[in-house]
Amino acid sequence: MSEAPVDWDSLTFSMTETDFMYIAKTAIDAPWAPGEILPYGNISISPAAGVINYGQGLFEGMKAYRTNAGRVVLFRPEENARRMQRGADRLKMPPVPESIFIDAVEQCVQQNARWIPPMGKGALYVRPLLNGSGPILGVAPAPEYTFMIYVTPVGPYFKGGMSCINLLISDHHHRAAPGGSGGVKAIGNYAPGMMPSKNAKAAGYAEVIYLDAEEHKYVEEVGAANFFCLKDGVLYTPELTGTILPGITRDSIIQLARHMGYEVVEEKVEAGFAMSAEEAFCCGTAAVISPIGSITLGDKTVTYSDGATPGELTLKLYNALTNIQNEVDEDTFGWVHPVPGLE
Ligand code: PLP
Ligand code: COI
């Protein structure tokens, strides 16, 4: 197949249409069966679909990497499958079996292999979706469900890749409330963040940090990434209370840091505590590890180090994580998942 029409050196985190997508459908009370690969293109949907009326939808985000070993790997894809299953339970949708999920992701990557960037230039972002596609007028689960995947080559999520980002703590808006859907990747969690995020960007910040909705005191997340900070040699990250998305990158970083001998504490992290830390970063599939240069709350801004140089542990964790993903270092955790046929 011909080379993809992409300038690998100027990739950003943006949408490029690729060749193929995957679609499977099921009725509410029927088991899932494997779907099919179709040419990438628009889909048609009922105006009364549950997802576009009531937000009955989930998404996932994962990446396929071309590695140092000359093959293509996914990173812990079974964790994305399980997170989507937990989300499906929460939104009353039929969970997609892990085997169907992984097989679908592999097929999509295989069929779009020419769009996977060379090692070090980016990754193929894989976006699985599960939604209530059947028509329903009352607020209730839709009668039919669609599981769909598309892929797109991406570069860094934040401009400048490993350069430090400046963040603003949101003092008026919250991402998620106790008992809500913050702990799953529900599509409805994201639109309410667009206005605060746009406003923060217009004021010169890269993103907002959300505080908890009950006491307005504790750091929850950074837009679409989890938060970490280092203080007195201990790495802290907000504990999973149900309002924070259990990031797969977050979990990997906790394991990597502990393996390096660091103490990692998962507990409530007060904004003031985070602002008194020595290093801070956020992490996610899209964001990878993004060092934080400064945090602003009201009229107070604190800068980590000189505000432009990533912290030592931040860099160490970035290298450890990406060296496993790129198969530069040995994968002692069993995290990389080779894509059959691209080995
Ligand atoms: N938090 C939110 C709200 C997200 O949308 C994401 C992205 O998936 C993350 C955190 C990071 O999760 P992961 O590391 O699994 O990509
Ligand atoms: C991810 O990290 O995969 C995300 O989903 C973040 C964002 C693009 C929503």
Q: Report the separation in Å between the CA atom of 128 and the middle of ligand 2, taken as the mean of its atom positions.
A: 11
Tell me the one-letter amino acid at 283. C
Give the residue extent of every domain in the chain.
Answer: 8-154, 165-325
Please work out whether the CB of residue 126 comes within 6 Å of at least one atom of ligand 2: no
Q: Report the separation in Å between the CA atom of 285 and the middle of ligand 1, taken as the mean of its atom positions.
A: 7
155 φ/ψ angles, rounded to the nearest 5 degrees: -110, -155
Of the candidate CATH numbers 3.30.110.40, 3.30.470.10, 3.40.50.300, 3.40.50.720, the domain formed by 8-154 belongs to: 3.30.470.10
Ligand 1 pocket mutation pick from 226, 253, 255 by most atoms within 8 angstroms of CB? 226
Selection from 245, 58, 213, 231 nearest residue 133 by Cα: 58
Identify the DSSP state of 195.
Answer: H
**pLDDT by residue (tens digit) across 213-257?**
999 999 999 999 999 999 999 999 999 999 999 999 999 999 999
Q: What is the mean pLDDT of the chain?
A: 96
pLDDT at position 71, please?
A: 97
Residue 126 has which token pair? Answer: 């894989």
pTM for the full predicted model: 0.97
165-325 is classed in which CATH architecture? Alpha-Beta Barrel (3.20)
- 79 C-beta neighbours (distance < 10 Å), count: 18
Is residue 28 a contact partner of residue 94, using CB atoms and an 8 Å limit?
A: yes
Residue 273 has which token pair? Answer: 């505590």
Count Cα atoms within 13 angstroms, Cβ side, for 299.
0
**pLDDT by residue (tens digit) across 52-87?**
999 999 999 999 999 999 999 999 999 999 999 999
Please work out whether the CB of residue 282 comes within 6 Å of at least one atom of ligand 2: no
Q: Report the separation in Å between the CA atom of 288 and the middle of ligand 1, taken as the mean of its atom positions.
A: 10
Q: Is the pLDDT at 49 greater than 80, yes or no?
A: yes
- Angle, vertex CA 132, rays to CA 130 and CA 136, nearest 5: 175
> Which ligand 2 atom minimizes the distance to the CA of 247?
2
